[in-house]
Structures are given as C-alpha cells and as structure tokens.
Structure 1
Amino acid sequence: MDVPAPGLTTSPRAEIEVDLGAVRHNVRRLRELVWGTEPGSAGQVMVVVKADGYGHGMRQVARAARQAGAQWLGVATPEEALELRAAGDGGRLLCWLAAPGQDFAPLVSADVDVTAYSVAQLEEVVRGAREAGRPARLQLKLDTGLSRGGAPREDWLALATGAKHAQDEGDVVVTGLWSHLACADEPAHPANQSQLDAFADGVALVRDVGLEPEVCHLANSAGALLHPAARHDLVRLGIAVYGFSPAPDVVSGSELGLVPAMTVRARVVIAKDLHAGDGISYGHTAHATEGMRVALVPLGYADGIPRHASSRAEVLLGGARAPVVGRVCMDQLVVAAPEAQAGDEVVLFGAGVHGEPTATEWARWCGTIDYEIVARMRGRQHRTWTGEEQE
C-alpha cells in the first residue's frame, strides 16, 4: 500500500481501493472475448499500464496482468518503463513516447522494446544501442489516420528502409509494426476502414523492404472488441482492463462481463443543517431552497475530483444517493444528505454493485470519459490494493 505520513495511525480521511482480483478477471475475460477459449491461441495481449496504471497503481496492475497471462505490458514514457524494470518485471515491455534527444541506452540495456516515429528517432535508438553494446528491440509506429504519433505516410518507406539497414548492421532487431485507431469506439465511422486499409499497406511495405516484425498491432480496447479485422497478432488493452467499456454507447462494461477495479471513498468531516436561502460553497452557485442537511466530504480537485462535478454528480451515503451541491473546492465538496453524521462513509464511485455511482456515471455528469475520471485519482488519498495473488 502507499506509505502513510509519519505518525498517522488513524483511519484515512479518504482512500482509493483497487481490487487486483478484478484486474485479473478482466484480463482473462478480455482474452476470451478477443481470442476465444481454444487452447493455444496465437493471439497475444498487451496490457497498458501507463499513467500509473490509469490511476490504479502501475506496478501492482502490471503484476496482476502478468499473473492473468498478459504477454506484454505497454507504457508511454521511458521513465515508466524503467520503473517497471526496477520493480522486477522482466517480461516483454513496449515504450512509445520519447522526446527528441532521448538517451535510449538505458532502455536498450533494460531490454525494453522502444518505438521510432521518424528516421531521426531511429538514429537516436541506434546510438543508444551502440552505447549499450547490444541491439535495440525496435518497433516502428505508423500514422494511419489519427494524425498524432507515428510516421506520416510519406515517410513510411524511409523509416522502414532505415530500420532494415540498422537491423542488417546489427544495431536493432525490428520486433513490431503498429499504429493506433482514432474512432474505434464508433463502429460505423469511416475512419476505421480507412485505417485498416492504411495499416495493411504499411505491413506490406515493411515486408517488401525485407522486414518481418514479430508482431503487428493496431487494436486498442475498442478495436479489439468491436473490429476483429484490427486484431492482427496482438491487441493493446487499456481501459477495459480496469473494468470499463471502451465504447459505452455501444456496449456496457457489465454486458462485456467486466468489473471496475477502483473504489473511491471518504468519511464525512462534519454534517450541518441549513436554512432556506443559505448559500452553499464558493460563489453561492447553489442555495438551500428549504431547510436541508449537508455533509462535508474531504475530497476536491487537488485529489482528482473534477470541478465539473459541481452540482452535477452524486455519491453514496447512508445507503442512498446524495447529490453534490455547490462548487467542488480544492480539498472538499458538499453533498445533500438528510441523515448524514460526521464519520459516515461516503462512496464517490466504485463497481456499482451496492448502489454507488460508477466512474462511467461520473464521466457523464462531468462531460468527459471514464478514462479521465480514474486516471486523475492520484491526489492525497490513501491507496490500498486488495486481491493480491502471491507469486
């Protein structure tokens, strides 16, 4: 668990609980949905644990994912990759977001698969490999229509031929070719077929120059679940691993058999009765229309609670939903709860099985996506992990 502040022995004012059993369940369930239940399926799974495991704890989720059979882990930054290696993870690990001037030698030495978006980045990888004294595991990323990371189409040939030359020189081993879908959560969007076709062109191109990547991968969670043609050799599973549908307007997480892994709870600091007309929180954007009781919850936007939740979201308090009233502050928020008492447990969101809101509901209330809701929960809460499985 996270290390408590020195001298603190009382129960936490607010906490994040992560169920690693749910993570393992979700990885196994997703494998079944994507690759089926037949033994010996050739399809591989990468679990994406970037951004501290979407707020769930990168090292803990990585370990649970490995236990559930994930052959690969995926992270964005070099720092994340090296943290996982320092924590003892020795399996296949892909890193994809390095800025110009990155020293790739530590990544090469740590046996991390690195990504090149351009010929210039390929040259940096080669320098890192020579410094490390061993070939770099290299994957090439193509931009097939997201217009974000990856080589633009006009540069594909130069990147592929440069990688082939580097491989012939013994500086790299090209282990993968990949891209990322822009609209996979909208099955009818024309960009999906356009990107499938573009990626097929990219695969053909790299093979024409003499490269045979170990894995070709295009599908994120939504692509893996909704677009079978996008699966190729490996699927990259992100938000679905944490229990949420990547396309909630198409299919819910519960329909997929997924279990949200994160619960955020706190304790009421104080409860008080208001009179009709009393203003509530900063700016008095909410008022008591009649006599009402409110409870102070010690979580705010410094703890990851969206300010957009002001007078929109709900929590579970005393077995019933309680609305947030007034503005969410830096350290606290106020809810209306007729029976609230100091010390009562408040569940902001969780798996939804006890009547508590889910992160998906919070996302809708705040006009965002559940990815953001869970990933930002990394403030001052005490964090614990349940469902640990011993190696």
Structure 2
Amino acid sequence: MTSELPDLSSQWPARAWVDLSAVADNAATLSSLAPDAGLFAVIKADAYGHGILPVARTLADAGADILGIAQLVEAVGLRAALGPGPRIAAWLYGPGAPLEEALTADVEIGIGAHWMLDEVLAAASRTGIPARVHLKIDTGMARGGFSPSEVPGLPERLGPAIADGAITIASTFSHLASGDIPDSGTTERQTALLLDLARELRDARIDTGPLHIAASSGVLLHPSSHLDMIRPGIALYGVSPDENVAPAARYGLRPAMTLSAPLVRVREVDAGTPVGYGHTYVTDAPTTLGLVPVGYADGVPRIGSNILQVSHRGRRVPMRGRVSMDQVVIDLGPGSDARVGETVVLFGDPARGESSAWDWARDTGTIAYEILTSVGARVPRSHVDGPPAADDGSAGAAGGSGTARPADQAGPISAGGPAPAATRSPGPTETGHPVPAADGRPVQTADVPAAPTAGAGDTGALLTVDAPTAADTRALAGRLAGVLEAGDLVVLTGPLGAGKTTFVQGLGAAMSVAGTIASPTFVIARSHRSTVGGPDLVHVDAYRLGGLDELDALDLDSSLEEAVTVVEWGGGTVESLAESRLEVTLHRPVGEVHVVDGPADLSELPTEEPRTVEVRAVGPRWAGVDLSALVAAS
C-alpha cells in the first residue's frame, strides 16, 4: 500500500501537445514587430495552460529579457525549478506573501500600492537583498497600480529607498483596457498618460527604468504603444487576442497547443436516436457516432454542447448531445469507416483544418484565454518541437505533406523520425498511443529511418562522432563550420529530439551570423547574414516544401551560391541543389521514450544519452578534404 496515487499520466487517453518551436517562432515574430523594444514574455497561469517550465526555458533560450508571471508564488516555484539565470518578475500577491523568499530566489516584484511598497522594503531590510521592483501605474482600468493622483507623492517614498540601495526600479508599466479595439482612442490616451506620469517621476530624479504597456493586442495593433518593452502573452502561444481584428495567420503566428484524444467507441445509429443526457440532440438521419474520452473536467466547455466542432481525419465534425464530465459524442457522418483508436483533435491549428481555441471561444461566447487555461490539470502536456502528428495524412494535416510529421529537437522526449515522405511509417508518440497512418488507422510500430544513402560521387568519407549532450552537438557543428565555404550544402537527418536545430545553432555561432536560429518549421527558411564578412547561413525546412521550385521562390536574402545552406528533413529531396554535399545524420537511442507531462518532470530528464552523429561527404567538393578533426576533437 502507498500513501500516494501512482502517476498514470503516460496512460491518460487525452493529451495536450505543446509545440515549443511554435512558441520560439512566435516570440521572434512578435519581437520583429517591435525591433527596438525588449521582450517581457508573459507566462502566467502555467504559461496559459501550456506548461510553465518547458515554455520558460524555450523563451529564455529565444532571448526574452524578462519572464513575467502574475502570481508571486508561481514565480518562486519557477525559480526553484529553473535555477539561476533568466530574469523572472511577478506582480500579484497578498499581504504577508513570501517576499523574503522571492528576494532570495532573485524574483523581481511588482508594486502598485503603498502597502506593497511597505512590505517589499521590509523584506529587503530583513534579508539585506536589494529589491528589483516593477512600478505599476493605473492609466485607466481601476485595477492594480498606483493611481495618477498618487504618482506625485511617490518620489518622496521611492527616492530615499533608492538612495539607500533598498530598491531599484526595473521597469514602470501599465495595462491597456481596450487594446483589441483598434480605433477606440483609449490605447493612445493610456499610453500618453503613462509617458506623462513617467516624465513626472524622472523630473523628480526617479529612474523609472524601461516603460511598457503593450500586451499582445498592443503589439499587434498599436505600434505607438511599444515603448521600451513589449509584454505579449497569448500571442506567444500563437493565438490572437481577437481574431476578428488581428488574425493570427496575418502575423505568421502559429498555435502551440493541440488537444487530442482517441476514439473509444464507434457505432452506427438510426434516425431518431437520442444522444446523451437530457436527449438534447436526436439524430435526424442514420449516421455514425463516435465517443471521445474528454469532457468538461478536461476543459471542454459544457456550454459548447451541440455547438462545438472537432477534427477527425482532417475533417471537422460536430459534437452531439451534452458534454459530459469525462466524454463527448461526435457525429462522424453516415457510412463512416472510422475505427477505435483513431485520433480526434479537439482544437489545434486551423491551418491543418482543425478547430482553433479561438473558434471554440467564439462559439461559446468567451475568449481564447479561457479555453487555453481551462484545459484540465489531469490532461498531460507533452512538449515537442514541431507540429504534433496529425490525425490523418490528408491535405490539411500537420506538415501538409500527406504524412504525419513528428516533432524535432525538444530534448529527449520521444523516439522515431521521418523517412522519405513516400515511404515513411508514422512512429509511436510519447504516450505509446499509435500515431494514425495516412488512412487514419492506428500504426503500432515504426521503422527508424536509415542514414541518407550517398549518391553518385560519394567520396566514401563516413565519420561517426559521439555527441551525448546539446553542448557536444553544438561543438561538433562549430568544428564543421571551419571547413564549410560559400555554396556548400549540408543535409540534416535525424529522429525526434536528436538535435538538428541545436546543430544549426552551433554552426551559426561558429560562423558568426546574425539573428536567432530556431526551428524553421513555420517560415520554411531563414537567411542569417554573416557579421564578419564570411558566408551567410541559409536554414531551410524541406518538409514543408512541395518541391525545389518552392525553395527558389522563397525570395531569400542570401543566394545559395553565396551561403552555406543547411536543410533539415532534406534527405531524398534537396540533393540536386548541389553536385556535392555533406549528409549529417544525428542518431539518438531508439526506444528511449521520455514523457514530458507537466513542468516538474522536465527537470528530471537525463542530461546525456548515447547520441552519435554520422558525417558523410558526397561529391567532388569533398575529395581530399580531411574531416578527421571532427573525430579527433570529440
């Protein structure tokens, strides 16, 4: 007998897939809209339901200046799990909150009332640790923050505390009331008021630090509100605050969360069949009903009964009858050959034909924020890098290639990888649930793709290098950069979590190119200019390309002849780009499946695995080139 319940998350039927590459790409996209502003990335409410620790690590790696959390205790917990490094700020707490613990944990603290200032100063005095504070001013919401009438009196209190070294103002901020209304004028008035009040403080010799007021809606719709920092929240997760006025796709934002579950019952029914509690729906013709094991305890709003749509085999189908606590019924249509075990996507990416969190919000009279943060705590979060495997292989499925695309480079969380599109069988997910094949039916096993086969002109040079950690992978790439020249083609292949994007990051660092190197999943290709007069780096995701003509049509800033071109998922597709190439295959152990089911579990993942990298030289460019240093230095 045990006093604790066993962890059954790996066996739970529903799962929220969180694409960390989407989070990183969205952060880069939002930063590009305000190139002169810092990034205060908001990860409150367990990163809007996405899992705070993996998201925090992703955003820190993506260059966020500050990670912002509403609740102080959540921030303290994050620091304990995350360790030293990224700046963390929190602004919501009550009297008697553990401010001393927060200061000891290097958490920056928001103050928007005199009692808050009193307690922060007392905590700083008791610990001897100066407090970095974020000064909140209410410019028109009547919520938290010092009111405009209180601001003139603040220098009298802040000045001595700053002079004594008890506090430093890390930033001064406010919150927009109507940022999602483009022409209300409210945003402009609030921004002007914040600037005026900050000027008063500065005139009184109070250093306000950077100013920020733009949350997601301000970033997308009000450039004049960007100021010194932007503070996006929901847009980091690929969801617009209001799809009607700021469609996410217009800005290149990609939803990070996909909520899915398997069919557990399929039945043919006659016309006139009542469905669910209260018989609120009765079939009007013969049809096929499917049972999905998720309900309002998992975040499916009960008000969505007979309203919401889900996706099966890339086609949207309606919910029928009342949403129950643990299950919903969907109408698969007459004559459906759906089978038990096939995946149903509750919401995900509309680019794949799926309902979105925004669709659910619109149809139930709420906001997408509530849909995302209402996904139940019992639903495991699996963090991957790249779109999750789709529920079928039709057009509109993840990757849009006719086969389900696995994730890539999110650390040691899953196994398997892409073989060439025409032959690859989908592999198992982290949960052990089968990934549907192209016909939507479950596949129980998967083949691990072999290293790319060298074509004509193979020099026979094949090296194998051990790279058990991400640092080893980057270091190997850095050594390889020393022999690369403009016009070289590098084709990257590898299973899930093997480190392809990490490898490219190592190349970019050694080549001294500009810009953040992240997964090119959504943008397909990125061009990184050299900062030292060397070749540029072109980073391509071939999986999304329909052919080489699409690569030529990408309008890259750098021509392929003047750059080193690195192509992920390029095996069998891009070899004709150049007569010579390096084929780099990254291997990780097959069967070593690590499930990431919530923030606490990520810190327990192994830091080393017996990963290897094979480098094969193909073509006359590499004849006589000595690559042995790659092994000798490993």
TM-score bracket, normalised by the shorter chain, equals over 0.9
**Per-residue CA distance 1:169-213 (angstroms, 9 max, x = gap):** 322112211100010111111211221121122111211221112
Report the residue type matching 1:28 in the other structure.
A
**CA distance in structure 1 between the aligned counterparts of 2:73 and 2:133, rounded to whole angstroms:** 17
Aligned with 1:381 (options 379, 382, 391):
379
- In structure 2, what is the equivalent of residue 25 of structure 1? 25
Report the residue type matching 1:381 in the other structure.
V
- Per-residue deviation, 1:222: 1.1
**Under a length normalisation based on structure 1, what TM-score does the superposition of the two structures give?**
0.93
- In structure 1, what is the equivalent of residue 194 of structure 2? 199
**Per-residue CA distance 1:138-157 (angstroms, 9 max, x = gap):** 12101100111111222222
- Per-residue deviation, 1:7: 7.8
**CA distance in structure 2 between the aligned counterparts of 1:32 and 1:178, rounded to whole angstroms:** 21
Q: 1:115 to 1:289 in 2, by over 3 A?
A: same
Q: 1:331 to 1:160 in 2, by over 3 A?
A: farther
**CA distance in structure 1 between the aligned counterparts of 2:377 and 2:283, rounded to whole angstroms:** 30
Structure 1 residue 235 and structure 2 residue 233: aligned? Answer: no
- Per-residue deviation, 1:22: 0.7
- Per-residue deviation, 1:161: 2.8
- Which shows bigger deviation, 69-78 or 207-216? 207-216
**Per-residue CA distance 1:38-66 (angstroms, 9 max, x = gap):** xxx4x200111111110111111111111
- In structure 2, what is the equivalent of residue 189 of structure 1? 184
Contact 1:325 1:336 in 2 (8 A): yes
- In structure 2, what is the equivalent of residue 85 of structure 1? 79
Contact 2:69 2:75 in 1 (8 A): yes
- In structure 2, what is the equivalent of residue 355 of structure 1? 353
**CA distance in structure 1 between the aligned counterparts of 2:103 and 2:377, rounded to whole angstroms:** 33
Contact 2:179 2:217 in 1 (8 A): yes
- Per-residue deviation, 1:214: 2.2
**CA distance in structure 2 between the aligned counterparts of 1:19 and 1:126, rounded to whole angstroms:** 41
Contact 2:188 2:225 in 1 (8 A): no
- In structure 2, what is the equivalent of residue 137 of structure 1? 132
**CA distance in structure 1 between the aligned counterparts of 2:11 and 2:88, rounded to whole angstroms:** 37
- Which shows bigger deviation, 237-246 or 154-163? 154-163
**CA distance in structure 2 between the aligned counterparts of 1:108 and 1:206, rounded to whole angstroms:** 25
Contact 1:245 1:256 in 2 (8 A): no
Tell me the secondary structure at the aligned position of residue 350 of structure 2.
coil
Calculate percent identity across the aligned residue pairs: 39
Tell me the secondary structure at the aligned position of residue 263 of structure 1.
strand
Report the residue type matching 2:184 in the other structure.
H
Aligned with 2:288 (options 293, 296, 309):
293
Contact 1:180 1:220 in 2 (8 A): yes
- Per-residue deviation, 1:271: 1.6
Task: Write the mapping of 1:271-286 to structure 2, written as runs, cut at 5 A.
Answer: 271-286=266-281
**CA distance in structure 1 between the aligned counterparts of 2:45 and 2:8, rounded to whole angstroms:** 28
Aligned with 2:261 (options 262, 266, 269):
266
Q: Extract unaligned runs of 5+ from structure 1.
A: 36-40
- Per-residue deviation, 1:332: 0.8
**CA distance in structure 2 between the aligned counterparts of 1:100 and 1:285, rounded to whole angstroms:** 48
Aligned with 2:47 (options 49, 53, 59):
53
**Per-residue CA distance 1:343-362 (angstroms, 9 max, x = gap):** 22101111223321111111
Tell me the secondary structure at the aligned position of residue 272 of structure 1.
strand
Contact 2:221 2:246 in 1 (8 A): no
Tell me the secondary structure at the aligned position of residue 237 of structure 1.
coil
Tell me the secondary structure at the aligned position of residue 169 of structure 2.
strand
Tell me the secondary structure at the aligned position of residue 96 of structure 2.
coil
Q: 1:16 to 1:7 in 2, by over 3 A?
A: closer
Structure 1 residue 70 and structure 2 residue 64: aligned? Answer: yes
Contact 1:72 1:92 in 2 (8 A): yes
- Per-residue deviation, 1:318: 3.1
**CA distance in structure 2 between the aligned counterparts of 1:280 and 1:127, rounded to whole angstroms:** 61
- Per-residue deviation, 1:377: 1.3
**Per-residue CA distance 1:94-148 (angstroms, 9 max, x = gap):** 1110112223111111221101111111000001111211111112101100111
- Which shows bigger deviation, 213-222 or 50-59? 213-222
- In structure 1, what is the equivalent of residue 172 of structure 2? 177
Aligned with 2:142 (options 138, 141, 147):
147
Aligned with 1:161 (options 146, 156, 159):
156
Aligned with 2:90 (options 86, 95, 98):
95
Contact 1:119 1:159 in 2 (8 A): no
- Per-residue deviation, 1:89: 4.8
Q: Extract unaligned runs of 5+ from structure 2.
A: 386-409, 412-469, 472-634
Structure 1 residue 344 and structure 2 residue 342: aligned? Answer: yes
**Per-residue CA distance 1:231-254 (angstroms, 9 max, x = gap):** 111110111110112332222111
Aligned with 1:128 (options 109, 123, 133):
123
Cα-Cα RMSD: 1.8
**CA distance in structure 2 between the aligned counterparts of 1:161 and 1:307, rounded to whole angstroms:** 53
Tell me the matched-pair count: 381
- Per-residue deviation, 1:158: 2.8
Q: Which has the larger radius of gyration?
A: 2
Report the residue type matching 2:351 in the other structure.
V
- In structure 1, what is the equivalent of residue 34 of structure 2? 34
Q: 1:100 to 1:383 in 2, by over 3 A?
A: same
**CA distance in structure 1 between the aligned counterparts of 2:243 and 2:353, rounded to whole angstroms:** 19
Report the residue type matching 1:229 in the other structure.
S
**Under a length normalisation based on structure 2, what TM-score does the superposition of the two structures give?**
0.58
